Amino acid sequence: MKDEATGYSIENHPLMESLRQVETEECLAGVLDPMKNRSMAALCLLLAATLALCLVSTLAKLQQIDHPVNSDSLRFLVIGDWGRKGQYNQSKVALQMGRIAEELEPDFIISTGDNFYGSGLTGTDDPAFEESFSKIYTANSLQKQWYSVLGNHDYRGDVEAQLSPVLTNIDHRWLCMRSYIVNAEIAEIFFVDTTPFVDKYFTHPGHHTYDWSAIIPTREKYMSTLLKDLDSALKESTAKWKIVVGHHTLRSAGQHGDTQELVKDLLPILKADDVDLYINGHDHLVQHISSLDSKLQYFTSGGGSKAWRGDYDPEKKGLKFFYDGQGFMTAEMTETDAEIIFYDVSGSVLYKWSVSKAYTAM
């Protein structure tokens, strides 16, 4: 069964897991009630056993969502660092995203994190969710599935709220998980929770409070398990394009520069497993950097609202393009070719880059 609005298999949607849990809780209550009949009890046991198997499977690997693409090409938009209730040109960028999406007809939209400034959401009832998301990205062309990751600012609020199916009930487009995979046939997209990797949030949090409640049993174990699961999933992938999305930079000429923890721990996996693109936010700009020793290409799309002008390193090795203003990114890929475009706040094309696997294989 596919959701007509979003196009992906609803059986794999995390919401279904929640619904199954509710069903099972009701069933288990039935088992305890002697008035319930035997067939109900049998159904409950079957559901409980199925759930136990699902739980083992989700613990063992990253959750995967199938998002079939009904054409020869996969098309998506990427926006990051955006949630400011329309301010700092967020609304202007959203307007142009809607205009470009009308032409592109994207399959979905990716958010690279820092979804809600300055400190994530206070809960599932935080009006900022609608004020920064539902009421901003209003174009018909943007009524697609959004796949989001968490940024460091999101970790300063109620993280579980952003991950909750309650938000998906408020706006059916919303889906945010810590780390997961979207299988879009032509490409597989691996979303990685990068914030727990960054030492300074733990050692020098300043006046900020981060919600590390789910980074268990220890930070080290959380990171090592994630990297192991990512490595396995990348190795198993047979997709033509492997794309990894995280909030933090791997390579950047912007204010934050490279994220050393990710360069040390994540980058070797991406190179070893033939990842094509790493896409991030965090620096409030759009940029393209080429790897000097692999096919990996680094794209930053973090220009969703507030931008920082003039704070960058023009001598950065591998730097192909840099624009320190607001903007967003589009991608269109077939089995052999990919084209990435950056747009600015007025919807003008800033930069186009394309690559052909047919060509690079020669």
- For the annotated binding site for Fe cation, the residues are 81, 114, 117, 152, 247, 282, 284
Q: Which residues contact 238 (CB under 8 A, 6 or more apart)?
A: none
Answer for the pair 194, 247: CB distance below 8 angstroms, yes or no: yes
Q: Which is nearer to Zn ion, 98 or 254 (CB)?
A: 254
Least distance to Zn ion, CB of residue 241, Å: 25
Least distance to Zn ion, CB of residue 257, Å: 13
Least distance to Zn ion, CB of residue 156, Å: 10
The stretch among 102-110, 127-135, 280-288, 324-332 that binds Zn ion (CB under 5 A) is: 280-288
Does the footprint of Zn ion cover residue 303 (CB under 5 A)?
no
Task: Give the nearest residue (CB) to Zn ion.
Answer: 282
Least distance to Zn ion, CB of residue 311, Å: 15
Q: Is 67 a catalytic residue?
A: no
Does the footprint of Zn ion cover residue 193 (CB under 5 A)?
no
Does the footprint of Zn ion cover residue 284 (CB under 5 A)?
no
The stretch among 12-20, 218-226, 282-290, 349-357 that binds Zn ion (CB under 5 A) is: 282-290
The tokens describing 54, both together, are 């699902």
Binding-site residues sit at 81, 114, 117, 152, 247, 282, 284
Nearest to 50 by CA among 19, 25, 24, 12: 24
Q: Which is nearer to Zn ion, 67 or 153 (CB)?
A: 153
The tokens describing 206, both together, are 């300043």
Exactly one of 67, 248, 256, 288 is catalytic; name it.
256
Does the footprint of Zn ion cover residue 302 (CB under 5 A)?
no
Does the footprint of Zn ion cover residue 304 (CB under 5 A)?
no
Least distance to Zn ion, CB of residue 161, Å: 18
Does the footprint of Zn ion cover residue 112 (CB under 5 A)?
no
Q: Which helix (H) or strand (E) holds 47?
A: helix 38-60
What is the secondary structure of 185-225 as a DSSP string? SSEEEEEE--GGG-THHHH--TT-----TTS-S-HHHHHHH
The tokens describing 260, both together, are 């050393």
Q: Which is nearer to Zn ion, 178 or 242 (CB)?
A: 178
Nearest to 240 by CA among 71, 73, 8: 73
Pairing type for strands 187-192 and 297-301 reads unpaired
Subset of 30-89 contacting Zn ion (CB under 5 A): none
Q: Which is nearer to Zn ion, 96 or 152 (CB)?
A: 152
Which of 114, 126, 158, 324 lies at the binding interface for Zn ion (CB under 5 A)? 114
Least distance to Zn ion, CB of residue 52, Å: 37
Answer for the pair 299, 278: CB distance below 8 angstroms, yes or no: yes
Q: Which is nearer to Zn ion, 8 or 133 (CB)?
A: 133
Answer for the pair 218, 172: CB distance below 8 angstroms, yes or no: no
Does the footprint of Zn ion cover residue 152 (CB under 5 A)?
yes
Q: Which is nearer to Zn ion, 112 or 237 (CB)?
A: 112
Does the footprint of Zn ion cover residue 158 (CB under 5 A)?
no
What is the secondary structure of 50-86 as a DSSP string? HHHHHHHHHHHS-EEEE---SSSSEEEEEE-S--STT
Which of 67, 242, 282, 284 lies at the binding interface for Zn ion (CB under 5 A)? 282
Does the footprint of Zn ion cover residue 151 (CB under 5 A)?
yes
Q: Phi and psi for 53 in degrees, rounded to 5?
A: -65, -40
Find the distance separating the first CA and the last CA of the chain, reported in whole Å. 41
The stretch among 111-119, 206-214, 284-292, 315-323 that binds Zn ion (CB under 5 A) is: 111-119
Quote helix, strand, coil % in the chain, to nearest 5.
35, 20, 45
Q: Which residues contact 55 (CB under 8 A, 6 or more apart)?
A: none
Does the footprint of Zn ion cover residue 288 (CB under 5 A)?
no
Residue type at position 318: G
Catalytic residues: 256
Q: Which residues bind Zn ion (CB under 5 A)?
A: 114, 151-152, 282
